[in-house]
Structure 1
Amino acid sequence: MGKTTLARVVYSMISNQFEACSFVANVREVCEKYGILQLQQKLLNDLSILRDMNVKDVDNAVYMIKNRLRHKKILLIIDDVNELDQMNKLGAKHDWLGPGSRVIITTRDAKLLTTQKVDGIYEAKVLSNGEAFHLFNLKAFDKEHPPKDYLKLSLAFVHYAGGLPLAIEVLGSILNGRSTFEWKSVLDRLREFPERKILNVLQISFDGLHETEQEIFLNIACFFNHKNQETIIPILDCLELYPKIGLSTLIEKSLIKLEDNQLWMHDLLQEMGRDIVRRECPKDQPEKRSRLWLYEDIDNVLTNNTGTEAIQGIVLPFLGTEGAQWNPESFSKMNRLKLLIIEDSYLMYDPKNLPNGLRYLNWHGYPSKSLPTSFQPDELIELHLCFSNIEQLWTRAKPWEMLKKLIVLNLEGCKNLKSLPRKFEMKSLKILILSNCSKIKTIPEFGENMGRVKDLYLNGTAITKLPTSIGNLSGLVSLDVRDCKNLMSLPSTFFSLTGLKDLSLSGCSKLIENLGRGESFDGIGQMPSSKAMFETLKK
């Protein structure tokens, strides 16, 4: 059962143990419409403190509640609280209560309870399959078991509700007294048009969120449900949505859950979020939505080149689709696109434009030999082009100079990549991945402003040496040069990397052989004994 229903059951079970009782219902809604004074008046009347007398104002009511509650053993239920001030003005304070008194508070926001330092918190759980089936039958048939010809349909509706008492009660009431043909029609309609009464109630918590928290919720609902939080947080950071506080708030309000490091939300909450996005425009105009996640919508927009400034995020998961015929100019009108993830490597598409406002770009198997010459990546924070066909990122040097905000550059598995700039000068870069770029023979020099780089992956490349300027990577923590079979030596500046903790050399047969002979360092005379260094590097 839901929070309010559970509170009512407890109230009916134990109210006879107290001198006075009050169930203050729908606090959020009443406060929004009429203010808290009406609820204070009800509380005072219920507790026989003042009957049939009007209270002058809120402060006067607070004074009377505070001074009268301590003289009675009372049971107080404060239902659907959404602000700390509501609890304080309705008597939910430890030092206001008499001996043996009890206060039960229901809320969608667990943070309010911890702030108020309540004695205990119980989180209402979704119903088990058996409990949900029982409740549904009572609402749909007014009895505990469904007729035989309704059994399969009943189970389908129970599955759709996902154990949410509100959804079960609403659906059961809608279906009560209807034929199996009508039931089937309702079920089919739900797959495309969620029940509005359910979504309206669920949306109450969403409407109370900060703007950035709403954006996080919609991104998870549309793109990232059941994803690892360590994957999601960097993306949300790129979008400047302050995910650490935002995700905590969503968890406190029970809009998302974190289990085994995975973020997820109830199916109906996800449906509610996607419905909010769908309602941004008419059904047949997906190009006017802020987010696109369905292949048919993405394909429609990119094929017909109907993109607009409304689109801020596109995520296309791997579907195994072959030969999509998208318009080469299809991104040209999406000036506000910040998030682009395409995980399908079979799309034979050569984009002529990419939006300059992109902050997170992840295109697995990117089909072109280079990024569009018109693309100016001033805002780009993470760039992932794993297992792509690129031979060089740009055909000109200038875009490299624009990567002032880039934190992650991931080109893993780009086996055709053979050209890099003469020098890397990306002052914000923290992670550089060139793993298995097998045609890369030379690593560019590192600029003096690249001290933020923490992780450098060069494994599986054809390099013969590391640049002497690797010493500029003063913040380097991890270096991977596994299976660099042609790597012969390390520069003397390598030993200035005092923060290096992880060094992977396995498969570097020539380097290890030279280390053993003490022939692998530039400026070896300034280094510790080759034998001692060899033992250190082996570790």
Structure 2
Amino acid sequence: MMGLWGQGGIGKTTLAKALYNDVFRQFEGSCFMANVRETSKGCRGLVTLQEILLKDILLPQQRLVVSNADRGINLIQHRLGRKKVLLILDDVDDLRQVNALAGEGMWFGNGSRIIFTTRDKHMLICQGIDEDHVYEVKALDRSEAHELLSKHAFPTHQKLEIRTDLVDSVLNHAKGLPLALEVLGSFLCGRREHVWESTLNKLSRIPNKNINDVLKISYDGLEENEKEIFLHITCFFREWNSEYIKKVLDSCDFEASIGFEILMERSLINIERGIVQVHDLIQLMGMDIVNQECCNDPRRRSRLWLYDDILDVLSSNMGDCAVKAVVLKPPELKEICIGANAFTKMRRLRLLIVRNVHNSFQGPIYLPNELRWFEWHGCALQIPEFSSGPKKLVGLDMSYCNITIVPKQLKDFQQLKYINFSNCESLISMPDLSCTPNLKELDLKDCKNLVEAHNSIAYHDKLQLLNLWGCSELSVFPNVIKSKNLQTLNLDGCRKFERFPNIPHELKGLKKLCLEGTAIKGLPTSIGNLISLERMFLHNCKSLVSLPSSIYKLQNLGNLGLDGCTNLSGFPKYEDLADPCMKAGLSKLRWLSLSKCNLSEVKFLEDLSCFPFLKELDLTWNNITSLPASFNKRDHLTHLDVTKCHQLREIHELPPFLDGLWAEGCESLQKNGDLTSIHHFIRRRLTMTDIFPHGQVRLSLSHTSMCGICRM
């Protein structure tokens, strides 16, 4: 069994037909079952399909009448169980169809092949088809698309010439979708340039019906949750970050995770490097569905995204409207005047995102209580007002706004999970988080005048992310941290932050700690209570003098960065920890960076029970003269960088599995030092022809420096 999977109009059926015509003679019987989805809808749908299957594979005089689907299954197994057959089931969308026509592969004789075409990848997986046997049919590349369009738009007998830019515009619109290329090519065949121009203008607003009807089949097969998510994405969130979109949709009472999975399985969306991608024609289809809710009156539509439509609705004084979501994001900064009660008539409004818009109205803005996500970047106002009664707001984003202080009214928002006041340079105090018990994320990045972090962050039960990056005036911070669910604490760039709080109890939540550029002089002994910490960055902490021996207790720490800590005396002695229960310190550390730390010796590397699985070590721009004798026993080390270690004179012996060595600018090593270990390293690499088949390593030496880029 195998599957051809892809979006509507992508060419699955065409490919399956070509495959069928190429190989059907190699089988004792064959059947191309077209339009399975449509045919199976009737009251005898599955039975009709079973009769077609038996008729096509058996001789016509052996035609069998099937009374019901169960009887049909028995007949297929009995009559075809010994035959080598080729069966193609085209446009399958339900496991019941598969179970009635093919069931398990064992229904047919040895050497049989069963091929499905479908828009739903999950159905193939449920059928037990391995991922390796699912072929994703992808859009045509530029040259293939041009060839297909030319075939339909410019037959050989046609003498009419069309401008290249118009042809390119059609190709850009179709984005390699064969259905669109065929439909548009056939429609434009024989038409003059002004018709091409008019057609393209129309298509930018209204999708072609023949193309749209095929694409819409995938949408019609979705459940309500997935339909709503799909319309939000096509109308608002194409090419936005997927995690952000999930956060917004979950806040609006949708189940985003399963929704995304289903939409990807149906080839309606794709996620590339965390960004949601949608084919142009599928996006047009989604927008058209919303526009068809009411063609002439935007107040009767569920979603608004066009600037003129939104302004029309906001300026209207007519009564209640159906709008549930508004995203206003013009490409250029717009100055508008939205009155105090402009949004109150949108009683169903759940989502409101405004970017690149300045409101000239100076009074308070009132918002409906049903609102779940409010985002207005650069708003000149304080936090908007809500009507009396329970507030349902989950996300509040007023970054780049002129907020000076967070009002006490925040206590009315018990459902708040996300607050973003980043780049609010006038903000001087952090809100009391005890009045928002469900808060998960607080982003105060680049609040340059923020002085004090409220004591409530120390005890908040739900807080997971606290971002204070770039709060250069922050100097007051709680003395302890007990937030058991805090996962990320970012204090990078807090230049006046001097004392890291005590951690009186073990915290299983905190995984990432960023203290780059702070004024801390040391870490508390209780740092060992961060038992789940995976990454800690202390780059450019110029006042940092020492690290406590309890740092060796961080048994989950994988990355540790100390670049530019110019006053650091080095690592503490492992024996100072005096913990007989620990066989190794920092046992999961893989990456350690100590660049520009003014180190003159690295004795802490002698003890192999410290970070025994270290893979990458950066010692660049230090004053070290040698590496420990035991250094060659670090069997897991693969990358060593000692660039610009001008005093380095000798490397006794390099680790056995080192793959990359950087030693540019180590003048003492070349002029006076021992290069034996490096020569051994190069010879060893040269003999590893199974890994490096060309057997070549470049080593460049000069009288001023050694370029030891022996990176294999």
**1:103 and 2:138 equivalent?**
no
Equivalent in the alignment of 1:255:
268
Q: 2:205 aligns with which of 168, 174, 192?
A: 192
State the AA in 1 paired with 2:85. Answer: I
Equivalent in the alignment of 1:331:
343
Equivalent in the alignment of 1:524:
none
Equivalent in the alignment of 2:55:
45
User: 1:256 Cα shift?
Assistant: 1.0
Q: Distance in 1 between the 2:436 and 2:430 partners?
A: 13
Q: Distance in 1 between the 2:159 and 2:466 partners?
A: 62
The answer for unaligned runs of 5 or more in structure 1 is 519-529
State which drifts further: 454-463 or 357-366: 454-463
* Deviation per residue, 1:34-57 (Å, 9 max, x gap): 511111111111112664442222
- Tell me the SS of whatever aligns to 2:39: helix
Q: Distance in 1 between the 2:403 and 2:187 partners?
A: 56
Quickly say closer, same or farther: Cα 1:205–1:448, change in 2 above 3 A.
same
* Deviation per residue, 1:491-539 (Å, 9 max, x gap): 65x5446344544444544x54xx6999xxxxxxxxxxx9765996997
User: 1:335 Cα shift?
Assistant: 1.4
Quickly say closer, same or farther: Cα 1:153–1:369, change in 2 above 3 A.
closer
* Deviation per residue, 1:476-505 (Å, 9 max, x gap): 33333444455565665x544634454444
User: 1:61 Cα shift?
Assistant: 1.2
Equivalent in the alignment of 1:415:
425
The TM-score with structure 1 as length reference comes to: 0.87
State the AA in 2 paired with 1:107. Answer: T
Equivalent in the alignment of 1:88:
99
Contact preservation (8 Å) 1:424, 1:445: no
* Deviation per residue, 1:258-303 (Å, 9 max, x gap): 22222211110011001101111123x2222111112222222223
Q: Distance in 1 between the 2:79 and 2:435 partners?
A: 70
User: 1:326 Cα shift?
Assistant: 2.3
Quickly say closer, same or farther: Cα 1:453–1:141, change in 2 above 3 A.
same
Equivalent in the alignment of 2:588:
none
* Deviation per residue, 1:123-149 (Å, 9 max, x gap): 111112222222222223333987423
State the AA in 2 paired with 1:442. Answer: E
Equivalent in the alignment of 2:18:
9
Contact preservation (8 Å) 2:331, 2:356: yes
User: 1:212 Cα shift?
Assistant: 0.6
Quickly say closer, same or farther: Cα 1:478–1:497, change in 2 above 3 A.
farther
- Tell me the SS of whatever aligns to 1:221: helix
Q: Distance in 2 between the 1:165 and 1:128 partners?
A: 10
Equivalent in the alignment of 1:278:
291
* Deviation per residue, 1:201-255 (Å, 9 max, x gap): 1010111111111111111111111222222221122122211111111111111
Equivalent in the alignment of 1:450:
460
Q: Distance in 2 between the 1:167 and 1:73 partners?
A: 37
- Tell me the SS of whatever aligns to 1:106: strand
State the AA in 1 paired with 2:210. Answer: K
Q: 1:67 aligns with which of 72, 75, 78?
A: 78
Contact preservation (8 Å) 1:309, 1:337: no
State the AA in 2 paired with 1:111. Answer: H
State the AA in 2 paired with 1:288. Answer: R
Contact preservation (8 Å) 1:349, 1:367: no
State the AA in 1 paired with 2:384. Answer: L
Q: Distance in 1 between the 2:293 and 2:192 partners?
A: 34
Q: Distance in 1 between the 2:163 and 2:76 partners?
A: 53
State which drifts further: 433-442 or 223-232: 433-442
Equivalent in the alignment of 1:30:
39
Q: 2:309 aligns with which of 297, 305, 308?
A: 297
Equivalent in the alignment of 1:169:
182
Larger RCO (alpha carbons 8 Å, 6+ apart): 1
Q: 2:221 aligns with which of 205, 208, 215?
A: 208
User: 1:319 Cα shift?
Assistant: 2.7
* Deviation per residue, 1:441-478 (Å, 9 max, x gap): 3333318972121222334164442245x544232333
Contact preservation (8 Å) 2:47, 2:67: no
**1:113 and 2:124 equivalent?**
yes
Contact preservation (8 Å) 1:305, 1:331: no
Equivalent in the alignment of 1:526:
none
Q: 1:435 aligns with which of 445, 449, 463?
A: 445
Q: Distance in 1 between the 2:157 and 2:420 partners?
A: 58
Quickly say closer, same or farther: Cα 1:149–1:432, change in 2 above 3 A.
closer
The answer for unaligned runs of 5 or more in structure 2 is 1-9, 526-544, 552-559, 563-712
Q: 1:148 aligns with which of 133, 148, 161?
A: 161
| Larger-Rg structure | 2
User: 1:79 Cα shift?
Assistant: 0.6
Q: Distance in 2 between the 1:481 and 1:290 partners?
A: 41
Greater per-residue helix proportion: 1
State which drifts further: 499-508 or 201-210: 499-508
User: 1:117 Cα shift?
Assistant: 2.0
* Deviation per residue, 1:393-414 (Å, 9 max, x gap): 43xx3x3222222112111121
Q: Distance in 2 between the 1:416 and 1:337 partners?
A: 30
Q: Distance in 1 between the 2:109 and 2:501 partners?
A: 76
State the AA in 2 paired with 1:324. Answer: I
Q: 1:58 aligns with which of 62, 69, 83?
A: 69
- Tell me the SS of whatever aligns to 1:113: helix
Equivalent in the alignment of 1:521:
none
Q: 1:367 aligns with which of 380, 387, 392?
A: 380
Equivalent in the alignment of 1:357:
370
- Aligned CA RMSD, in angstroms, stands at 3.0
Contact preservation (8 Å) 1:419, 1:440: yes
Equivalent in the alignment of 1:390:
403
Equivalent in the alignment of 2:675:
none
Q: Distance in 2 between the 1:234 and 1:262 partners?
A: 14
- How many residues were matched structurally? 519
Contact preservation (8 Å) 1:25, 1:79: yes
Q: Distance in 2 between the 1:104 and 1:7 partners?
A: 8
Equivalent in the alignment of 2:281:
268
- Tell me the SS of whatever aligns to 1:28: helix
* Deviation per residue, 1:49-73 (Å, 9 max, x gap): 6644422222211110111112212
Quickly say closer, same or farther: Cα 1:10–1:392, change in 2 above 3 A.
same
Contact preservation (8 Å) 2:206, 2:284: no
User: 1:377 Cα shift?
Assistant: 6.9
Q: Distance in 2 between the 1:40 and 1:517 partners?
A: 74
- Tell me the SS of whatever aligns to 1:32: coil
Quickly say closer, same or farther: Cα 1:463–1:209, change in 2 above 3 A.
same
Quickly say closer, same or farther: Cα 1:467–1:225, change in 2 above 3 A.
same
User: 1:183 Cα shift?
Assistant: 2.9
Contact preservation (8 Å) 1:446, 1:473: no
Quickly say closer, same or farther: Cα 1:144–1:81, change in 2 above 3 A.
farther
Contact preservation (8 Å) 2:175, 2:280: yes
Equivalent in the alignment of 1:321:
333
Equivalent in the alignment of 1:480:
490
